[in-house]
Amino acid sequence: MTVPTFEEKLRILAESARYDVSCSSSGSNRGERKGGVGTVAASGICHSWSADGRCISLLKILLTNHCTFDCAYCPNRRSNDIRRVTLTPDEVAELTINFYRRNYIEGLFLSSGVVKSPDHTMELLIETVRILREEHRFNGYIHLKLTPGADPLLVSRAGRLADRVSINLELPTRESLALLAPDKSRDSILLPMHQVSGLIAARKGEGARAPAFAPAGQSTQIIIGATPENDLRIITLSQRLYQRLGLKRVYYSAYVPVTSDPRLPPLNGVPLLLREHRLYQADWLLRFYGFAPDELLDNSTPDLDPELDPKSAWALRNRDLFPVEVNQAEYEVLLRVPGIGIRSAQRIIRARREQRLRVEELARLGVVLKRARHFLTGDGICGVKELSSDRLRAVLITAAKRRSSAVQLSLFDTAASVAVTGEF
């Protein structure tokens, strides 16, 4: 076989990395170093959008796609017959700096297949980031993946150099993990995760001058649809990760059948991209809208409604709580109105201090009323006639469809698309 060129290696390692979802570059604050290259922007910046409609913010790449593990869902697994290539830490650092200078990217998202041992792999990853930070004086955003089972000392080094660290939970349960990723034990994932969450919490207690530790927090990723867990199980797990471990984000990755393996399910039922989209919406409700998992789903309906966003579905089941009067309702109550997002709720609260709001003023404030008007009154007046639940359901479904069918099937991870997802 011919020796691959640098360009070929880059392409292969980008292909190997592309199934990882996270591309966020926001929310870090490491403080600036004089004379360095770059900064971290407070709100995420998208530099481009790939042909699958996903935001490109970071150079997302593996150091190598060699791997001694054999995870059934992964194209890089040991038993898969693909071309294997490796970049050196220096090469990745050089690439990052040059892409960054040209404003192609906001930073680096670095991961790797497991070579030799988890510790050896982690050392190579850390070395790359060290070169960037110390030799190139790179100040931009770095998201570093932790290797399952990596030594605690290495984990803490990683957190001191990177803005964000993450380790993928991969599958929602211990059993599923054992089935599909036999080389990864649940503990080899959970231990570093707990360690990082402890170190982040400890750092918060220290003064502003203490060295930063993963200032953009910790995230993880769960693969959806490769194993039989239902949505209730998944969002309950996410809620625990947010509340107990203080994770910043849980990413959901619709399983893409990159390999055929008898352990993997055939694809049927709700299209996975749609299911993934609904999970992101539900996740959003947990983090920013004060919903609890058992408000959205229960054992009799353990999966999210494919036709309707989870907030609308919840409102339809709880019609006795509506309509709410925009001049009186608390912020938390406004947030529960379908169609009213964080920004709209804030605008309403601010504007109503000065004047009573009718539906007309809401429109002027930029509140999208298509769905909301069925659930609120402005100064006692509703403006639409009351519908039966079936009719209302139909109306809500059409309203959502018209909003944007393209967005329906996509991932969200950026400030720019927060504006889209934020307002449901």
Partner 1 sequence: MAIWCYDGTFPGFLTLCATLVTQGEEPESILSADSLHDDLFSRTISVESDEPRAEKMLAAIASRISPNSCRLLWQAFLSGSPGVELLLWRYLSLGRTTGARIDRLTAHPAVAPVHRLAHTVEREAHRVKGIIRFQESAGGYWYAAVEPAYQVLELVAPHFARRCAGMNWLIHDRRRCLALAWNRTEWRLAGFDCEGVPPLSTDEEQWSTLWRGYFSSITIPERQNRRLQQQHLPKRFRSYLTELTGSPTL
Q: Given the rule CB under 6 A, which residues bind ligand SF4?
A: 67, 69, 71, 74, 76-77, 113-114
- Rounded Cα distance between 323 and 327, Å, is 12
Q: Is the Cβ–Cβ distance between 76 and 113 less than 8 Å?
A: yes
- Rounded Cα distance between 261 and 392, Å, is 43
Q: Which does 120 bind (CB under 5 to 8 A by kind): partner 1, ligand SF4, none?
A: none
Q: Which does 114 bind (CB under 5 to 8 A by kind): ligand SF4, partner 1, none?
A: ligand SF4
| Cβ at position 216, least distance to ligand SF4 in Å | 22
CB neighbour list of residue 176: distance below 8 Å, 6 or more residues apart = 226, 227, 228, 229
In this structure, what token pair is assigned to residue 346?
């804030």
In the complex with partner 1, which residue's Cβ is closer, 6 or 288?
A: 6
Task: Indicate which single residue of 101, 116, 240, 263 sits in contact with partner 1 (rule: CB under 8 A).
Answer: 101
Residue 47 contacts partner 1 per CB under 8 A: yes
| Cβ at position 39, least distance to ligand SF4 in Å | 31
Q: Is the Cβ–Cβ distance between 128 and 97 less than 8 Å?
A: no
| Cβ at position 180, least distance to ligand SF4 in Å | 9
Residues 278-307 that bind partner 1 (CB under 8 A): none
Residue 3 contacts partner 1 per CB under 8 A: no
Task: Indicate which single residue of 1, 52, 388, 402 sits in contact with partner 1 (rule: CB under 8 A).
Answer: 52
Give the range of 179-187, 226-234, 285-293, 405-413 binding partner 1 by CB under 8 A.
405-413
Count of residues engaged in binding partner 1, rule: CB under 8 A = 63
Q: CB 192: neighbour CB atoms within 10 A?
A: 28
The residues of the shown chain that bind partner 1, judged by CB under 8 A, are 6-7, 10-12, 14-15, 17-19, 32, 35, 37-39, 41, 43, 45-57, 59-61, 95, 98-99, 101-104, 106, 256-257, 273, 347, 350-351, 353-355, 357, 361-362, 364-366, 404, 406-407, 409-410, 415-416
